[in-house]
Amino acid sequence: MSDENARSVPRWPVVVVGAGPSGLIAAITLAGMGVRCLVVDRRRSPSQLPRATVLSLHTMELLRRWGLQERVLAGGHDVEWLMSISPTLREASSGSTVEVGYPTSEQSALISPCRPANVPQDHFETVLLEHLRTLPAAEVRLGVELEDLSRIRFGSRVVLRTIDDGTVRDETARYVLGADGAHSAVRRAIGIGMPTSGGQHESISAVLNAPLWDLVGRHRYGIYLVEQQNGYGTFLPAGPPDRWVYGFGWDPGREALSDYSPDRLAGLVRAAAGDPGIAIRIGRVGAFSFVGGMADRFGDGRVFLLGDAAHRVTPRGGTGLNTAVADGFNLGWKLGWVISGWAAESLLDSYETERRPVAEHNLARSLDPVGSRRPAGDEVQVDLGPRLPHRWLPAAVPNSETGSRTSTLDVLTNGVTVLATDPDAASAGVSAAHRAGVSAPVTVRRVDVITARALGADATGSVVLRPDGAVLTALSKLSVTVSPPSGLGRASI
């Protein structure tokens, strides 16, 4: 290699700007495939705020895949994902419940080896970051921000500044992932706009500690809506033992955030809880607008946007974090295939093709004033996408990651997975994978005829799958069409 070409080869295959959910998931996916990546974030440590509190089925299935499910669940609560509606929290037992777009435990058991979880985002991110740091292919630098981004022959020049001492360092990357939030510096650097909706609703939220579980007893849900004389308030469980978030609407044109002292907020919480004597410790208090937006496009050349940098949703529906997670995995495995030489770079075009419709759906839901109240059957297909159905495999097939029963989802690999009924079916599946235009490693798993039929096996008796569990087709014909997982509608609530 000539000196000129050597200087042109980027040092890093991938630089990820932002260590939130989308960036961490993308980096874990890449590093798990042996692809070297650098992750930077201007924060010196993960956020200490609970922020999002729901992890969807798809997110939990990824965690199960990486053996992280139990570690994540340890930082949350065991709840049913329904919304309780009552005059006060104490009266939850006599109130009503409505669906919030996530399946209950009973519904989940029909379509997944997992169920949605109530886990605060700060704990979730901490587990992901700790796991990423164990992967040899990844390097993480916190307290480092993007100062400049420019194109070079084979990728991008990334100028990074250490916040503490101002040290500036140049890095080069074949691909750059902008996972740096709603005010993305990467998005600005590549000149992509993000029109926004403007403020749809103004809200104050307070993180607090109080023994509120004692008031609801066995009626443990992911959301509690209380109907007060002065308007609605919302309680969200946000981590053990007794951390909660209480949110309510306000008019910033008539009041200032400083008007809400800890004593005043404690009084509001006690009234909404229905217990005037309950002990409450108020933590961080913040005000925010419900704003939505969609980037004009999800990338430019070898620079991609994901998570809030690509689409900004309001808290309604709880889809923001989970959409970001799905972005990270979708782009992560595709970049892994391309960088490993398993697929042509044109595969990356399917990232926006597949993810934008989902983001548009979730943005519209988040802007709907009743967007949190959706039937699970209408929303779970958006979350899970076109992945193969979950079926339990015979007990003779152990799951080395979880030590539990093995789901069809557990046998997916980072390459191509072929599920086949016999050797002839396996050969046909391998041939189909090659015809699809990929050279990724192929793993063949034997399944019985009944299971194969339930999974939609073709006439040869095989199913050929991508890492995300979608059926592998020619790369130029990747589909975003999804169907409701069978059986969900039969679950009782």
One domain for residues 70 and 156: yes
Expressed as residue numbers, the domain containing 38 is 3-76+119-197+293-374
Tokens representing 167?
């040290």
* pLDDT at res. 484: 38
Amino acid making up residue 280: I
Q: Are residues 136 and 67 in the same domain?
A: yes
DSSP state of 452: H
The C-alpha atoms of residue 212 and residue 313 are separated, in whole angstroms, by: 29
- Render pLDDT for 153-180 as a digit per residue (tens, 0 to 9): 899 999 999 999 999 999 999 999 999 9
Token pair, residue 224, equals: 């509690």
Q: Are residues 453 and 312 in the same domain?
A: no
CA–CA distances in Å: residue 77 to residues 55, 70, 239: 12, 12, 7
Domain stop point among 289, 324, 342: 289
On whether residue 192 sits in a domain, the answer given is yes
Q: Would residue 166 count as lying in a domain?
A: yes
Q: Which of 267, 289, 311 is the last residue of a domain?
A: 289
Same domain, 192 and 209: no
Helix (H) or strand (E) holding 185: helix 185-189
Q: Taking all residues of the chain, what is their mean pLDDT, rounded to a whole number?
A: 91
pLDDT level of residue 482 (50, 70, 90 thresholds): very low
Domain check: are 186 and 334 in the same one? yes
Distances (CA, A) of 202 to 271, 404, 465, 469: 21, 45, 44, 40
Q: Is residue 387 included in any domain, yes or no?
A: no
Same domain membership, residue 30 and residue 165: yes
Burial string for 375-385 (b: 16+ CB within 10 Å, else e) reads: ebbebbbbbbb
Q: Of the residues 238, 273, 289, which one is the last residue of a structural domain?
A: 289
Residue with the larger pLDDT of the pair 77 and 432: 77
Residue 285 sits in the same domain as residue 302? no
Each residue's pLDDT tens digit, 398-436:
555 555 789 999 999 999 999 999 999 999 999 988 888
Same-domain pairing of 324 and 343: yes
How many domains does the chain divide into? 3
Same domain? For 313 and 454 the reply is no
How many other CB atoms are there within 10 angstroms of residue 211's CB atom?
14
The predicted-structure confidence for 84-97, as pLDDT tens digits, reads as follows 999 999 999 999 99
Cβ atoms of 56 and 32 closer than 8 Å: no
Q: Helices 349-367 and 376-384 sit at what angle, rounded to 10 degrees?
A: 160
The answer to whether residues 133 and 188 belong to one domain is yes
> In angstroms, rounded to a whole number, what is the distance separating the alpha carbons of residues 362 and 323?
8
Q: Is residue 104 part of a domain?
A: no
> Does residue 22 form part of some domain?
yes
How does pLDDT run across 109-127, given as a tens digit for each residue? Answer: 999 999 999 999 999 999 9
Is residue 88 within 8 Å of 226, Cβ to Cβ? yes
**Residue 244: CATH number of its domain:** 3.30.9.10
Backbone angles phi, psi at 280, to 5 degrees: -135, 135
Long-range pairs for 332-335: beta carbons < 8 A, 24 or more residues apart: 332/25, 332/26, 332/27, 332/28, 332/29, 332/30, 333/29, 333/33, 333/414, 333/466, 333/467, 333/468, 335/14, 335/26, 335/30, 335/35, 335/175
Same domain, 155 and 253: no
pLDDT(477) > 70: no
Q: Mark whether 321 and 343 lie in a shared domain.
A: yes
Determine contact, residues 421/452, Cβ cutoff 8 Å: yes
> Which amino acid, residue 214?
D
| 26: exposed, middle or buried (Cβ count in 10 Å: 0-12, 13-18, 19+) | buried
Global pTM reads 0.93
What is residue 395's predicted lDDT score, i.e. its pLDDT?
Answer: 66
- What does the alpha-carbon distance between residue 453 and residue 462 come to, in Å, rounded to a whole number? 9
Q: Looking at residue 341, which CATH number applies to its domain?
A: 3.50.50.60
